[in-house]
Chains A and B, each alone.
Chain A
């Protein structure tokens, strides 16, 4: 349900339509008239932007006199690491790269929608589903990597004779996690945009800016909550308490 095309999408659909259709046919979708969607290109844009920023950061890393970019990212790193150590204790360092990536990707994806020419890719369900499935697969993989195949014992509950009851309950609650992650992020971003659009049609020129400020705040909070929940799930998957 793509209402209007951004200028990037129009360029890609006009010039590179065949490339898009070839990519779609790899997964078995029939060729369409204008295959590139807004959110695919906005995701690529966020990806390219982040790779460029981090490449520049890496080139300018210096322990003796850090520049402004390095100090900004040291703040990010300190924040993510502090939160991870709160949630998971000292084994958090192994998983920091995933947490930081998820946080920065979702934060930049959310905030890029505030710029008038661009659109938040996280405003569309497939993108947030991708992030949630990445988290889901990651914490199960980390659980199996830590515990081996005894990871399945975590689903059995505390007593062996309760396992037949605990197993379906645990399966359902584990499946509800990516569902909730997807819908929480998607609905927050979608609702923020819709509310701003409604008020653009209703009131004077500058009033919807208040809703955009609220949307910016909600973007940051939702990115933080996604990261926090990821840490909690990874923490509970690799914990050695049982």
Chain B
């Protein structure tokens, strides 16, 4: 089942290479390819995704701790919020870099 899936995907990749081929001359760009918006989007996506994973782990252990020890819920909630803010700030460093280097 997986082998067939990979075979079909490889065929589609080859087909896309053939189909997207262009004759040179009518696709020459006036200016060189500017990778900055693409880099901005990709880097922000990676940063946000990994930040989401990290924050999910923090919230998961905080909620489990609150379930085990409901009396300590206030302290655990406070520690969870602090941890979330630290991880959030890492994703925001990336956002800042995007804003500084992409017009």
The 8 Å CB contact of B96, one of A180, A186, A225, is: A186
- Measured between beta carbons, the chain B residues less than 8 angstroms from A180 are 89
**How far, in angstroms, from A180 to B95 measured CA to CA in the complex?**
14
- Measured between beta carbons, the chain B residues less than 8 angstroms from A43 are none
17 intermolecular pairs with C-beta atoms under 8 Å apart:
A183-B89, A183-B92, A183-B93, A184-B85, A184-B89, A187-B89, A187-B92, A187-B93, A188-B89, A188-B92, A191-B95, A191-B96, A194-B99, A221-B85, A222-B85, A225-B82, A225-B86
Mostly helix, strand, loop or mixed at chain B's interface? helix
Closest 8 pairs (CB-CB, A-B): A187-B92, A184-B89, A187-B96, A225-B85, A221-B85, A191-B95, A191-B92, A188-B92
The 8 Å CB contact of A184, one of B81, B92, B99, is: B92
- Measured between beta carbons, the chain A residues less than 8 angstroms from B81 are 221
Min CB distance A146 to B, Å, is 26
**How far, in angstroms, from A190 to B97 measured CA to CA in the complex?**
12
Min CB distance A218 to B, Å, is 8
Interface centre among B82, B92, B96 (most CB of A within 10 A): B92
Q: Which residue of A lies closest to B75 (CB)?
A: A86
> A228 near B: Cβ within 8 Å?
yes
Query: Quick check: B85 and A190 within 8 Å, CB to CB?
Result: no
The 8 Å CB contact of B95, one of A187, A221, A225, A228, is: A187
**How far, in angstroms, from A228 to B92 measured CA to CA in the complex?**
19
For window 71-94 of chain B, which residues contact chain A by CB distance below 8 Å? 81-82, 85-86, 88-89, 92-93
Interface centre among A187, A194, A225 (most CB of B within 10 A): A187
For window 164-181 of chain A, which residues contact chain B by CB distance below 8 Å? 180
Question: In which size bucket is the chain A interface?
Answer: 10 to 19
**How far, in angstroms, from A163 to B86 measured CA to CA in the complex?**
30
**How far, in angstroms, from A190 to B93 measured CA to CA in the complex?**
11
Q: Which residue of B lies closest to A186 (CB)?
A: B96
Min CB distance A224 to B, Å, is 8
- Measured between beta carbons, the chain B residues less than 8 angstroms from A187 are 89, 92-93, 95-96
Query: Quick check: B82 and A190 within 8 Å, CB to CB?
Result: no
- Measured between beta carbons, the chain B residues less than 8 angstroms from A191 are 92, 95-96
For window 216-241 of chain A, which residues contact chain B by CB distance below 8 Å? 221-222, 225, 228
**How far, in angstroms, from A187 to B85 measured CA to CA in the complex?**
12
For window 186-231 of chain A, which residues contact chain B by CB distance below 8 Å? 186-188, 190-191, 194, 221-222, 225, 228
Min CB distance A215 to B, Å, is 13
**How far, in angstroms, from A184 to B93 measured CA to CA in the complex?**
7
- Measured between beta carbons, the chain A residues less than 8 angstroms from B93 are 183, 187
**How far, in angstroms, from A228 to B88 measured CA to CA in the complex?**
16
**How far, in angstroms, from A183 to B100 measured CA to CA in the complex?**
12
Query: Quick check: A183 and B96 within 8 Å, CB to CB?
Result: yes
Q: Which residue of B lies closest to A225 (CB)?
A: B85
- Measured between beta carbons, the chain A residues less than 8 angstroms from B88 are 188
**How far, in angstroms, from A194 to B88 measured CA to CA in the complex?**
16
**How far, in angstroms, from A118 to B93 measured CA to CA in the complex?**
25
Min CB distance B63 to A, Å, is 18
**How far, in angstroms, from A184 to B92 measured CA to CA in the complex?**
7
**How far, in angstroms, from A228 to B82 measured CA to CA in the complex?**
9
**How far, in angstroms, from A83 to B64 measured CA to CA in the complex?**
25
